[in-house]
Structure 1
Amino acid sequence: MLRIENFWEMSEYATETYVAPTPTDEEIKTVEQRLGYTLPSRYIDFMRGQNGGIPIRSTYPTSEATSWAEDHIAITAFFPLSSTHQYGIAGEMGTHFWESEWGYPAIGVAICDCPSAGHDLVYLDYRACGPTGEPSVVHIDVECEQETKLADNFEQFINGLRLEEEWDV
């Protein structure tokens, strides 16, 4: 079960920059066709609750050091499930943009931005499951050429997100 109560930051910036209208079945089909991947049902359900935005719990633990920290990554926002929103996963600055302009590997779908302004992202990784399977979630730092597996699936990723303050203890 997805843990989504009190999940989103409510701010004008978050709403204006990252939130898109609730995705319709038609929009989901368009996005999947453009990207070439079937999106996980848990991800779709999550985006139907709020389609993109800035999470309150914005860090995820790692078992190895990353360019961000010794034991975790940070995310700035979830990109919306959209083909028309500028930052939508299939939009102008979505997954294909990150692959063609920044050199990210074509392994799946870019779902989260990170504080590095494009140098690292969180992806749904379809390499092990194929384009219609259940993807894992990975953090990719394109500058350091580092990849870190975060979770076996999207639900595990959402449920594992932590508050930034937890790392300052």
Structure 2
Amino acid sequence: MKDSELKYIWSVPKYLPYVQPELTPEILEQAQKQIGYNLPDKLVEILKIQNGGYVRYKLAETPHEQIMGIGPYFPSLTDFDWTESKEYVSFELDGLVPIDGDGHWYICLDYRENKEEPQVSWIDLECDDEQKIADSFSEFLELLELDVQEDKLVIETVHSIEENVKQIELILAIEFEEPDYFMSGYAIYRGKYKDSWIWLTPNKVPTGFVREEDKRYNELKDQMNSSSVQYIGINENYLFLVLSEEKLISEVMEKLGSHNMKIKPITEFI
């Protein structure tokens, strides 16, 4: 990704429990004392935009999906302990600071060779494996790519998602289930067309979301009042259509198009 895209690195909607409180100079100073190293300038820059969370620009062909922020909530960049892991690997863990990971693998700032300018490394605790990803965090950012499902379709519309649901149901002779808001905080409509699942979702979504079951729901729920778009550069009123069977995409596009629905692959927009 380019420097001009840094402000768009964070996914929308943001999952609020994974976003730490605003990064202040005092919080940053304390965090750097705790880990024993200064964080890269570019990392600090993006954490000032949003202090951690899921990202829309990702490292291809890896499970990378977030950059941890700095703060009191899980997951936090300062909350790690290699003590119990050292017996399982043949390489040194001291000097590694995770920025993403699931307990088995991690993407880390790697200060083992250079305490001023860390590399970025991949480690796998189960496989006793380590690999250098980039010589610096800035170089790591350049490797990130916008995470786009290339077979996603875009419906160009000025009508509501509910109106489009009714029209698609009539054209394809299907019935959508009640929309699911639990997964991502916005309406996800699902139906069955022949032997394929079909999903319809909006581009305009809440800026952030938290589930009612979350312990911090009452604290965070007011942050769901604003809205944003999932994909910059695509009209906020447009909708996304995805099919589980790629072989049916052309057929569905033709049927919807024959009823004056404007539908194109997302690759024509991004």
TM-score in terms of structure 2 length:
0.48
Which residue matches 1:34?
34
Q: Deviations over 1:38-84 (max 9, x none)?
A: 11111111110111111112224xxxxxxxxxxx32212111123x2
Q: Larger relative contact order (C-alpha < 8 A, sep ≥ 6)?
A: 1
Structure 1's unaligned 5+ residue stretches are 61-71
The equivalences for 1:5-16 within 5 A come to: 5-11=7-13, 14-16=15-17
Which residue matches 2:97?
109
Between the aligned partners of 2:109 and 2:44, the Cα distance in structure 1 is 13
The equivalences for 1:84-103 within 5 A come to: 84-90=72-78, 94-96=79-81, 99-103=82-86
Q: Deviations over 1:69-113 (max 9, x none)?
A: xxx32212111123x2231111xxx222xx134448122311112
Counterpart secondary structure, 2:56: coil
The equivalences for 1:17-166 within 5 A come to: 18-60=18-60, 72-82=61-71, 84-90=72-78, 94-96=79-81, 99-103=82-86, 105-113=93-101, 117-130=102-115, 133-164=116-147
1:37, 1:108 within 8 Å by CA — same for their partners in 2? no
Which residue matches 1:4?
6
Counterpart secondary structure, 2:31: helix
**Cα displacement (A) at 1:142:** 0.7
Counterpart secondary structure, 1:33: helix
**Cα displacement (A) at 1:20:** 0.8
Between the aligned partners of 1:38 and 1:5, the Cα distance in structure 2 is 22
Gap change, CA 1:167 and 1:141, over 3 Å in 2: farther
Q: Tell me how many residue pairs correspond in the alignment.
A: 144
The structure with the largest strand share of the pair is: 2
Between the aligned partners of 2:85 and 2:58, the Cα distance in structure 1 is 23
How many percent identity over aligned positions?
27
Between the aligned partners of 1:156 and 1:23, the Cα distance in structure 2 is 23
Greater mean deviation of Cα atoms: 102-111 or 147-156: 102-111
**Cα displacement (A) at 1:5:** 4.3
Q: Deviations over 1:119-158 (max 9, x none)?
A: 101100001112xx01010011111111111111111111
Between the aligned partners of 1:5 and 1:45, the Cα distance in structure 2 is 9
1:28, 1:81 within 8 Å by CA — same for their partners in 2? yes
TM-score in terms of structure 1 length:
0.75
Counterpart secondary structure, 2:139: helix
Gap change, CA 1:36 and 1:165, over 3 Å in 2: same
2:94, 2:112 within 8 Å by CA — same for their partners in 1? no
Gap change, CA 1:23 and 1:101, over 3 Å in 2: farther
Counterpart secondary structure, 2:62: strand
In structure 1, give the amino acid aligned to 2:11.
Answer: E
